Structure 1
Amino acid sequence: MNLSRFVKHSNINLFQEGNIRCLYDADLLNDFSVEMFDSSYWQQQNAVLGSSTGRGTAWFVQHPQVKMVLRHYYRGGLIGKLINDSYFYTGFMNTRAAKEFILLSDMQLMGLPAPKPVALKIERQGLTYNADILIELIPGANDLVALLTQTELPEQSWQQIGACIKAFHQQRIYHHDLNAHNIMLDSDNKIWLIDFDQGKQMASEGPWQQQNLQRLQRSFLKEQKKLPVFHFSEENWQSLLQGYSS
């Protein structure tokens, strides 16, 4: 596999063993091993910081050089009920993990507030593969849903959220699942976007930008109906749109 695609990025190395291929940032993982994609490895090291459960379990782990999120790729929707985590293999660079890794790497060069990719693993089984990824954990960050169940956000924060989304859209970055869980605020109140699985850089601006915003608004309204306390209002949404437009 040609790694020239990554020359402009960090010190990206290739690991191959049998039917397993990995990419990793040697500046962040100078002691890389394939076992790092197994949560039990981190448990044995007493290095698990926590976890979150969605489609699958994401593990927050502590490496001496970097705190990371370990995530396995699972299928969603109806097909996910039949096929849990296998994908048809059409080439390494076409895998979900490689595409997300590349996009995250590119966004680092653009200066966008998205987490750094650290490593990925592709394991083939004949015509299919499954995948894992390690991504830098954003220190001191909470997602919007967790925050809005506890407190109201000031108008300025809503405007900053809108401005953050606009910064990604100006670089033609499409977020496949822009929802309230995938927007983070860190301890300095900086806004971040996470989870760029199936995201991509679009060829041009277009309806996808408005569709991103509409999806986010539906996410807020869904959480508002579901949760007993959720500090979100139409005024908050208008502040977000004001930040997006400014």
Structure 2
Amino acid sequence: MQLATFQKEKNFILYDAERFCDGGKPLEPPGIGAQEGAARGRCASSMPLEPRWFFPDYWRERDAVTGEAPGRGASLFLTAPDRPDEQWVLRPYRRGGLIARVNDAHYLWTGRERTRAFRELRLTAALHAKGLPVPRPVAAGVWQHGFTYQAALITVRLTGARALADCLADADAALLERVGATIRRFHDSGLDHVDLNARNLLVTPGGEVFLIDLDRCRLRQPGRWQAGNLSRLERSLKKFGASASLPAILAGYHDKSDG
């Protein structure tokens, strides 16, 4: 996957250059890869990107919202504008905790490449390129307001997938071991998932396990963070009354390391 960026007024978009044209002002950030630079001005479709795509009201007005995911960000499921047989997930970035009472959507602006949306999309694209099970990224949108910004992310929806949290009641050992093996694959690639829980692991109708929501995650050298990820998942399983699922997940995790 090749990524490219463009700017329209104070909107900054990072997108899949193999899929879309931008029609905006090209950006040349320091250190940009040769492939990304070469991708500009070339696309597989005549569909131009629209900054409006990152605003939920745009899709509601067009009756293109097909559903909504749980969570504070109120992620929407959308019909893709260029492929009617495909759905997208639009996830606005939202704050949690006490600060959300006074500021639930604005973040400090320190440059577009340091925004949460750009960092998450680049990380997702890198993992996707390695063949790891993450949703295919579509685009990240950031709009600047002086010293702050708001952002949203669009990815391809895994149609029919359910959160592991919703599968725990009837999950067999084979599925739970696949969950553990999948987590180990990400750990072996250096991914520190700071919010590894039973809702950020998705199971497709075919039994594949995917990892989602890479906000604030990063690639690291092996360390104690790996055990920390697993401890967070253990707390999540306990919250859903499924602590008994942990041994099979850990069996799959360690079998992966042995293999």
Change (3 A) 1:44 1:28: farther
In 1, the alpha carbon distance for the partners of 2:102 and 2:62 equals 34
User: Is 1:49 the counterpart of 2:66 in the alignment?
Assistant: yes
In 1, the alpha carbon distance for the partners of 2:154 and 2:132 equals 19
In 1, the alpha carbon distance for the partners of 2:173 and 2:218 equals 30
User: Is 1:62 the counterpart of 2:62 in the alignment?
Assistant: no
In 2, the alpha carbon distance for the partners of 1:111 and 1:190 equals 13
Give % identity: 34
TM-score norm. by structure 1 comes to: 0.87
Contact persistence 1:26–1:32 (CA under 8 A): no
Partner of 1:169: 187
Instruction: Give the SS at the match of 1:57.
Output: coil
TM-score norm. by structure 2 comes to: 0.83
Listed one character per residue, the Cα deviations across residues 120-145 of structure 1 (whole Å, up to 9, x for unaligned) are: 11111111111111111112200011
Instruction: Give the SS at the match of 2:76.
Output: strand
Partner of 1:229: none
Partner of 1:155: 173
Gaps of 5+ in 1: 1-8, 225-231
User: Is 1:245 the counterpart of 2:236 in the alignment?
Assistant: no
Contact persistence 2:125–2:137 (CA under 8 A): yes
Match of 1:84 among 104, 108, 115: 104
User: Is 1:116 the counterpart of 2:107 in the alignment?
Assistant: no
Partner of 1:190: 208
Change (3 A) 1:233 1:177: closer
Instruction: Give the SS at the match of 1:60.
Output: strand
User: Is 1:22 the counterpart of 2:13 in the alignment?
Assistant: yes
Partner of 2:53: 36
The amino acid across from 1:164 in the alignment is T
**1:80: Cα distance to partner?**
2.1
In 2, the alpha carbon distance for the partners of 1:52 and 1:99 equals 22
In 2, the alpha carbon distance for the partners of 1:110 and 1:13 equals 19
In 2, the alpha carbon distance for the partners of 1:187 and 1:28 equals 26
Partner of 2:160: 140
Partner of 2:115: 95
Count of residues paired in the alignment: 226
The amino acid across from 1:189 in the alignment is G
**1:233: Cα distance to partner?**
4.4
In 1, the alpha carbon distance for the partners of 2:223 and 2:164 equals 26
In 1, the alpha carbon distance for the partners of 2:172 and 2:146 equals 53
Runs of 4+ in 1 over 3 A off after TM superposition: 26-29
Partner of 1:211: 228
